């Protein structure tokens, strides 16, 4: 049996831009993607702390060192520049792999630069 768990979380990153007339996605600085263990085109969920919006999209890689968190396409209607959001990815984990599964939690500073990465186990 497989169970779904939080895989990674970018905690309280700030939206830095919006591009309504763009293919739908979420642009993230590559440092944020790497810290969270996210791959280009991987599905993520975005939870906007300012307005309660919750939506699913996928990530694309932004410019290195930029701290970018850009809402693209329809998602641009779900937040404003400066809004803090939580970005999460989930994973399906086989029962027999639960003992080695780790969750990655990423905390940033006011410029969306990685401040701390924590790993948590299920046990």
Active site residues: 25, 58
Q: List the one residue out of 46, 43, 6, 36 whose CA is nearest residue 118.
A: 36
Instruction: Give me Rg for the CA atoms of the chain.
Output: 14
- Burial grade of 123 (CB within 10 A; 0-12, 13-18, 19 or more): exposed
Q: How far is CA 80 from CA 75, 93, 110, in A?
A: 10, 34, 16
Count of alpha carbons within 13 Å of 56, Cβ hemisphere only?
Answer: 4
């Amino acid at each position: 049996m497989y169970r779904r768990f939080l895989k990674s979380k970018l905690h309280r990153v700030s939206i830095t831009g919006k591009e309504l007339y763009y293919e739908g996605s979420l642009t993230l600085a590559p440092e944020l993607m790497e810290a969270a263990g996210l791959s280009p085109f991987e599905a993520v969920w975005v939870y906007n702390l300012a307005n309660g919006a919750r939506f699913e999209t996928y990530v694309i890689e932004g410019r290195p060192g930029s701290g970018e968190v850009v809402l693209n396409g329809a998602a641009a209607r779900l937040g404003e520049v400066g809004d803090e959001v939580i970005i999460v990815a989930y994973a399906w984990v086989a029962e027999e792999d639960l003992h080695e599964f780790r969750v990655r939690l990423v905390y940033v500073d006011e410029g969306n630069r990685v401040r701390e990465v924590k790993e948590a186990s299920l046990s």
